[in-house]
Structure 1
Amino acid sequence: MINSLNQEVDRKLEFIRKTLTETGSIALRLRGTDWFAWATAGGSNTVLLTAETGVAEILITAENAFVLTDEIEAQRLQDEELPANFQMHIYPWADVAQREAFVNQITGSGKVMSDRPNAAERAIAPSLKSCKQTMMSSELERYRRVGSLASEAMTEVLSAAKPTWTEYQLAGAGAEALWARGLHPALTLVAGERRLPLYRHATATGEQIGRQAMLVFCARGWGLYANLTRFVCFGSLEPKDDELHQAVRKIEAAALNFCQPGVSLNAVYATLKNAYEQHGYPQAIREHHQGGTTGYLAREIVANPGTSDILAENTAVAWNPSLSGAKIEDTFVVSSGGTLENLTFDANWPSVEVAGRLRPVPLEI
């Protein structure tokens, strides 16, 4: 396992150094939690879950690869997060200027690329962004584990839910189930019976969930995001609600059928737009974003009419078409030949076949 991590990092360092040469840059500086996880094969610089940057950053040149962190964090990172491919530069926590002096010493007057550039740095090259979104086999192994754990947590929580639970309780139970499996609960959205038809992005409240509820996860493990949505209904689903869920599954199928290597994200968006119109919901695409590519961010790129980025083999996607009171979402990987691997499928959750794929239906209790 350790050797495979080192090999993964070596391949990434090789590509980074090739990009440095091609762009005339002296170094690459990575500050974001997403890029840190990518470059370290799943390591984490996160302490504050809501922060985009962490307690360490990476500096890569043609000769060296450094992790820059302070004396509070260094030992833990070395012991628990970092493969052997990196050297450490440790500075006093109260003297950030020492870190900057070290970076200046290494880079001199050369051009520096960064994922979050300051005024003196340049934006990261598009080729590196594409590399980050195209999963290597070792990354896919980790991603499958994250997806399996996240969907298992979802099934466990909604199977135990009660109509008297508040939305806070359901969100908290979801977060607890994710933490118990070693995953960060980056997002746990909940809408109960009353709020479900009102809001697409329903953050939890103190209301009881009532007869039905939606739970949404963005679960992060080894830096990778598993995104999924499920519904629970106490009793039988009303016919009007069942019709909404059927329509959403058909709309999603149109997008999934179109997800193949070489297809642009705006083309998938257009497919979704047409599908909404064909099913009698022409305005629905304006009422919520439709998802897009995922991976080291919950959404690497959100698809819209202007996103011309091209899907590649081993790119992860998470679409979430929705109507008022119904939504569907799983995390897939685009495989060769246009097949899709569902990373968040759980055989213990009820499903129906749609366009040759098993898709989740509301759990009726």
Structure 2
Amino acid sequence: MAHMLGVDTVVLSNPLNLSWFTGARWHVPQTLSPACFDVIVTDLAGRGTPSVRIVTNTIEAPRLRDTEFVGSDVVFDTVPWDEDRARLLPSGSNVARDASGTSHLDASEEIAALRRILTTEQSAQIRELSRDTARITGAVAAAARPGETEQRIAGRLVAALLEEGIECVALFVGSDERISEHRHPLATAKTIEDRIMVACCGRRSGVVASVTRMVAFSPLGTGAETYRRLLEVERGFLDASVPGAQLAEVFAKGVAGYASHGFDSDEWRRHHQGGLTGFNPRELIANMHSELTLQSGMALGWNPSAAGFKVEDTTLVTPSGAETLGDETAWPTIRVGGRIRPAVLELH
């Protein structure tokens, strides 16, 4: 960080950067966008070890110290809860921040570039999280039954994720016609009849994993072939997700798959197809104009959908191509393009 920015001190306040740098839960209510602490990293230009200071208020300091930063070599600077902690943040020409302003260097883009390439440890974390999130989501979806409400399934999923220390930061449960009518079906009191889709984004240690699983309670019939064709659409996104590829070009190759696999050529316009992830469900949603070069260590979440079906797992860009992350040990699978992908679970 010091070599890239050429400064002695860096201040992090953006929640994505706090997740990346600390792995800690930066929120109190998840509905608030400002974080409950800032990070100051100093002595970056020196020969010694940089020091890390956590700036927060007197309400949050004890909890952060006891739960989020246990065993970490950090110092806490606190202010009373009714005072602005911004007064403790340094400024000057030798200070970089992840925010715009005139009193410091705005290093938002440079820090984002660092953040978007996961470290070896973060890659291991997102692999484990993806396996756990897929396993838990699959188990909850498989236990659903006709006559239960979408809300009940959603509640079970949140509880099951929290049991393993995973925060549910996005949650969709849709059944029957709602799957095709609403691409982001927030759970309702509707009872399940014939089919259910359960999708979520789980966060643990700062990283985020995305997953969708689908269950049918009657024979799929021609729907099985439709879903297979959707997996071929996904394959287009995955095959193109290699180091050096332009995200806009990956997107274009992926969406072209709808028409070539028998779907409406404009199907992609009915829902975004996913994009860059890692520390947010979607940090950057891909489109025809996305200016990003994929690099090894970046995480993606592609989620093509059509005809009442959707497929989704977190993907890691590696030197050998796209590695889909998930746990299919207890879920039916289909091999597509050399990859093991989730099938629709049929329970009838």
Same fold, judged at TM 0.5 (above): yes
The match for 2:81 among 75, 93, 107 is 93
Query: What is residue 275 of structure 2 aligned with on the other side?
Result: 292
The match for 1:229 among 212, 230, 233 is 212
Pair 325,123 (structure 1): closer, same or farther in 2 beyond 3 Å: farther
Percent identity over paired residues: 29
Does 1:80 find its partner at 2:80?
A: no
Structure 1 residue 345 displacement after superposition: 2.8
Structure 1 residue 293 displacement after superposition: 1.4
Ranges in structure 1 where 5+ consecutive residues have no aligned partner:
1-14
Does 1:37 find its partner at 2:19?
A: yes
- Contact 1:330/1:345, CA 8 A, preserved across alignment: no
Query: What is residue 18 of structure 1 aligned with on the other side?
Result: 3
SS of the residue aligned with 1:254? helix
Structure 1 residue 123 displacement after superposition: 4.1
Structure 1 residue 47 displacement after superposition: 1.8
One-letter code aligned to 1:100: A
Query: What is residue 277 of structure 1 aligned with on the other side?
Result: 259
Query: What is residue 39 of structure 2 aligned with on the other side?
Result: 58
One-letter code aligned to 1:356: G
One-letter code aligned to 2:134: S
TM-score scaled by length of structure 2: 0.91
Pair 122,277 (structure 1): closer, same or farther in 2 beyond 3 Å: farther
- Contact 2:208/2:281, CA 8 A, preserved across alignment: yes
Of stretches 263-272 and 329-338 in structure 1, the one that deviates more from structure 2 is: 329-338
The match for 1:253 among 235, 245, 262 is 235
One-letter code aligned to 1:258: A
SS of the residue aligned with 2:39? strand
Structure 1 residue 145 displacement after superposition: 1.9
More helix, by proportion: 1
One-letter code aligned to 1:314: G
Structure 1 residue 134 displacement after superposition: 0.9
2:166 and 2:154 mapped to 1: Cα distance?
A: 15
The match for 1:138 among 110, 121, 124 is 121
Pair 100,162 (structure 1): closer, same or farther in 2 beyond 3 Å: same
Query: What is residue 159 of structure 2 aligned with on the other side?
Result: 176
Structure 1 residue 111 displacement after superposition: 6.5
Ranges in structure 2 where 5+ consecutive residues have no aligned partner:
45-50
Query: What is residue 199 of structure 1 aligned with on the other side?
Result: 182
2:95 and 2:233 mapped to 1: Cα distance?
A: 44
SS of the residue aligned with 1:296? coil
TM-score scaled by length of structure 1: 0.87
Of stretches 295-304 and 112-121 in structure 1, the one that deviates more from structure 2 is: 112-121
- Contact 1:20/1:27, CA 8 A, preserved across alignment: no
- Contact 2:170/2:281, CA 8 A, preserved across alignment: no
Query: What is residue 5 of structure 1 aligned with on the other side?
Result: none
Query: What is residue 47 of structure 1 aligned with on the other side?
Result: 28
